[in-house]
Amino acid sequence: MTAPQPAWQRRAYNIEALRSLARAALPKPIFDFADGGAEKEYTLRRNEAAFDGIELLPRPLSGPADRDLSVSLFGKPLSLPILLGPTGLAGLFWPDGEGCLARAAGKAGTGFCLSHGSVVPLEKVAASGTSPRWMQVFIYKDRGFTRELAERAAKAGYDALVLTIDNQLLGNRERDIRNGFAIPPRFGATGIAGMALKAQWLWRMRREIPNITFGNYVRPNETADISTLAGRMGSLLDPAMSWRDVDELRRLWTGPLILKGILHPEEARQALDHGIDGLIVSNHGGRQLDGAPATIDVLPQVVAAVEGRVPILIDGGIRRGSDVVKALALGAKACLVGRPVLWALAVAGEAGVVHMLDIYRREIDRVMGLCGEARVDGIAKDLLFSRSSRPG
């Protein structure tokens, strides 16, 4: 007999429902920290809305009995074409948030990318043993610190290094300003009043809150106080980053090196000349440059520029299995998800993230079945409806 499904799982029947449950569970400043975007949140909205403009053209008469969702990325198998993207301060959403998401990825047979800004240091997260595990870094004014993080990641067995290029100046996140949320977290009077209504989160996090910090930035014999570390991080990011820095990392890192934050097709093409192994088409989930296009809208141009020489991944607004199928049809090899991971963590920790991946898995499988697609590798542009080829 199978165990009855917990109530939260029944209520979390899709990703939007997970978001609603997370909203109910989290203090508003924390929910908004994850949920919000920059300025008017145009790009944030476009990321999701642009998928609605793309339609699927099914061929049910080639319907397979079973679907194979697996893909291989940089020589590693994934059980579905989704990885957990890097999100800072996951440990604010559930105790040992980063450990939870790493273990959940492993259980689901996929991988994760750890944020530079994890609460738990990268070495400790690596102990989950999940592979593939990728480490995300920035270019710092102190280039030695970028090097140090890369060297630590190599030593801890991370498979790939992800250089995020779209965060060298912090985006203007106005929800955080309105809520008085800052790094380090500070809650104004309304924030504290709101928190009182989130008793479960407060109780669960009572031992964690005083220790929330940026684990990778703590140095021996130095205070782990988050304000010291946040100050160092902010002042260290260097807007004057260039291809020379990419070359330097390329010399240092022998495994797959991936650029995250690519939108311009020309920059994608240039990356090939610098020995990059993969690209993530991303606008940081609309948290950085408001007014940037939806990632799914620029994907075809990036795919065309790269001509199949390296795998292209995408993130931003992927909330449905059908979004994943559309991205693959437009040439992505796999997708990453950001906010859904934090919503799932906030709802049920590790079990929440396993459940979230299961939602995507079931939705992708159903969409593939309805479309008559047997294998993820077989998904191509002919699965999409083109208005221009419609007669009359």
Nearest alpha-carbon partner for 37 in 137, 185, 170, 135: 170
Comparison of 67 and 325: residue with beta carbon closer to ligand FMN = 325
In the shown chain, the binding pattern of residues 176 to 215 toward ligand FMN, with x for contact by CB under 6 A and - for none, equals ----------------------------------------
Q: Is 285 in the site for ligand FMN (CB under 6 A)?
A: yes
Q: Which of 28, 67, 339, 361 binds ligand FMN (CB under 6 A)?
A: 339
Q: Token digits for 61?
A: 């008469």
Amino acid sitting at position 210: P
Q: Is 85 in the site for ligand FMN (CB under 6 A)?
A: yes
Rounded least distance, CB 188 to ligand FMN, Å: 20
Rounded least distance, CB 34 to ligand FMN, Å: 4
Q: Please, what is the end-to-end C-alpha distance for the chain in angstroms? A: 56
Helix axes 15-25, 28-35, angle to 10 degrees: 150
Question: CA 163, CA 48: separation in Å to the nearest integer?
Answer: 24
Q: Which residue is nearest to ligand FMN (CB)?
A: 338
Comparison of 67 and 82: residue with beta carbon closer to ligand FMN = 82
Q: Is 86 in the site for ligand FMN (CB under 6 A)?
A: yes
In the shown chain, the binding pattern of residues 351 to 390 toward ligand FMN, with x for contact by CB under 6 A and - for none, equals ----------------------------------------
Nearest alpha-carbon partner for 371 in 45, 48, 63: 63
Only segment of 83-91, 213-221, 233-241, 247-255 that touches ligand FMN (CB under 6 A):
83-91
Segment 25 to 44, residues that bind ligand FMN, using CB under 6 A = 33-34
Only segment of 21-29, 180-188, 270-278, 283-291 that touches ligand FMN (CB under 6 A):
283-291
Nearest alpha-carbon partner for 305 in 277, 271, 260: 271
Comparison of 42 and 63: residue with beta carbon closer to ligand FMN = 42
Q: Is 284 in the site for ligand FMN (CB under 6 A)?
A: yes
Rounded least distance, CB 392 to ligand FMN, Å: 37
Helix axes 265-273, 295-306, angle to 10 degrees: 40
Question: CA 215, CA 229: separation in Å to the nearest integer?
Answer: 9
Burial of 391 (0-12, 13-18, 19+ CB in 10 A): exposed
| DSSP track, 156-222 | TT-SEEEEE-S-SS----HHHHHHT--SS----HHHHHHHHT-HHHHHHTTTTGGG---GGG--TTS
363 phi and psi angles, rounded to 5 deg: -70, -40
Question: CA 59, CA 113: separation in Å to the nearest integer?
Answer: 35
At 372 the three-state DSSP class reads coil
Q: Is 128 in the site for ligand FMN (CB under 6 A)?
A: no
> Are residues 328 and 288 in contact, defined by beta-carbon separation less than 8 angstroms?
no
Burial of 384 (0-12, 13-18, 19+ CB in 10 A): middle
Comparison of 131 and 168: residue with beta carbon closer to ligand FMN = 168
Q: Is 87 in the site for ligand FMN (CB under 6 A)?
A: yes
Comparison of 67 and 339: residue with beta carbon closer to ligand FMN = 339
Question: CA 307, CA 58: separation in Å to the nearest integer?
Answer: 26
In the shown chain, the binding pattern of residues 303 to 332 toward ligand FMN, with x for contact by CB under 6 A and - for none, equals ------------xxxx--------------
Determine whether 284 is an active site residue.
yes
Q: Is 338 in the site for ligand FMN (CB under 6 A)?
A: yes
Q: Which of 260, 326, 355, 361 binds ligand FMN (CB under 6 A)?
A: 260
Comparison of 258 and 379: residue with beta carbon closer to ligand FMN = 258
Residue of 116, 264, 274, 284 marked catalytic: 284
Active site residues: 284
What residues make contact with ligand FMN under the rule CB under 6 A? 33-34, 47, 85-88, 115-117, 136, 164, 260, 282, 284-285, 287, 315-318, 337-339, 342
